Chains A and B, each alone.
Chain A
Amino acid sequence: MAKIIVVTSGKGGVGKTTSAAAIATGLALRGNKTVVIDFDVGLRNLDLIMGCERRVVYDLVNVIQGEAGLNQALIRDKRVDNLHILPASQTRDKDALNLEGVEKVLDTLSKDFDYILCDSPAGIERGAQLAMYFADEAIVVTNPEVSSVRDSDRILGLLASKTRRAERGEEAIKEHLLVTRYNPARVDSGDMLNLDDIREILAINLIGLIPESEAVLRASNQGVPVTHDADSDAGQAYTDTVARLIGEEVPLRFHLYEKRSLLSRMFGGGRR
């Protein structure tokens, strides 16, 4: 049985898809059979981040509506053997998804894969609720910013009430906090919330911290998940995150201001 992990946040633009792609890649690189599903029907992005947009024929909606088989829609990643992508439809909307259909897809994938990552759309409506409904674990992506923290808090409330585990009264979904776009220099100057404040408000286990990095933007535009960029700070931070996700203890990196000389060169740290 696969472990189903939803990558969610409430707020848009915080790095859900980037994180889903990077973590899926990291899991597959470590030998786990992994599939990452784009639930953002109508605003399909995951295929771009994964660099497989030219190979999309069928999508999640086609499978749910019985127009294509699951194997026809799954796209095999060109770089990592164990990694598959199930893209979203760009031409439909989120009403095209239904719970029974999603359950069937996840059940089928569960037999073949070790990890299923569900890349949730932003918001708290149907699309986001479908993406989280069957999850065993949740990665809540949060930026060091008050609105993002509040939206994550809202999502954590939904994870505790609007999911199958919650409705059946089963063991609660395991919640992980992933802080992205963290810039220690700007935290130090007070522009950004610091890590301790975020952790205190959300009160869940920290699974990783991804520094604000040029490597992420570059990776997105090239369609290569940043995990492959092993020299970059963000790539290493995602590798650490994956290690923690599968139960290893890895010390936290990239969260301290002493990195300033390097970071300020990379991000033009003088701006305040």
Chain B
Amino acid sequence: MSSPQIEIQLIAAVVAVACAIPGVFLVLRKMALISDAISHSILPGIVLGFFITQDLNSPLLILLAAFSGVITVVLVEWIQKTGLVKEDTAIGLVFPALFSIGVIMIAKNANDVHLDVDAVLLGELAFAPFDRLLLWEMDLGPKSLWIMGIILFTTLILFFTFFKELKVSTFDAGLSSALGISPIIMHYGLMSVSSVTVVGAFDAVGAILVVALMIAPAATAYLLTSDLKKLTLLAVAIGVFSAIGGYWMAHWLDASISGSMTTVLGIVFLLVYLFAPRRGLISVLYRQKQQRTEVSLLTFLLHLNNHSEEENERHINHHNEHINWQKVRSKTVLDLALKNNMVSVENSIVSLTIKGKEFTDLALEYIITNKNENIEHMKDDFFLFRG
């Protein structure tokens, strides 16, 4: 590995971490698309900043562009408040318009600006190591590493300082204002951090891919855990893994680094989406099948309970008619009930056993008092065999 290669990977990893942290909160607060809006609408800010500073890595440019990101949020919220269009339409109108302005500004000044549309969409990670920070003739490393490093450092400080506040205001806005944590300050604080991060990362990975780096690690991690600390750590790990993995994939395919990073993120997400232990598609489908049988069993038991006096409702051949089920399903449910010792069959009449009765009464009580979650524990206690 050559030294620029190491530096590129280092920058990619730092960008991934810096994006993943605010991304977690954007996903949890259902504001994922705001990052999309910001990443597009900072473009005119960046171009304008570039006209003034002539340096893509100038702090002034980053502040200017981040400011235009915050303006976007304010503008979207203002349009929403007028009630002229729905919320999502407001977002969908604002950022393409601002982005278009940026693209046109670049196109009209193509000769003066060393920015091109490809760089806007993809960033220029491959060239990042060649823009060095020189202080007193000393080479301190790539500029963008410094910029992203500072942004990451600030984000981390804010994250650790306000972890409790972020957690409360994300999960319970009502409680947080009762505790004196202003949801508005948290909201705009998060928006400002996101804006600055997007601007910093823009140079490296481009407008649209920065969205992937923010949303995908957090969303993937969210399929694996709900614990905020684990979620953040996992999101960071997925981000770094995809950044490094993406670099090598790009190296191998001789294609865009940021495109590869996103593709690795996509593959990781797809795998987790399919195979995550509890929330993955396969596990969800399996559980749904199991739950369908279990709910059917509950229904069947309750039916027996409700009609303990009327034998004709409990005839073994008739319950599929009464409950309106297919024969096969009725058979499965009856077998399950028998296996679990919930029912007994005498002269083709199905009756609840004492255990079955106890189970049914308890389940009913839980449902009526809206403590549905207790049923899951109950199933563990009562069921020998599950659906």
The answer to whether A and B belong to the same complex is: no
Interface residues of B (CB under 8 A from A): none
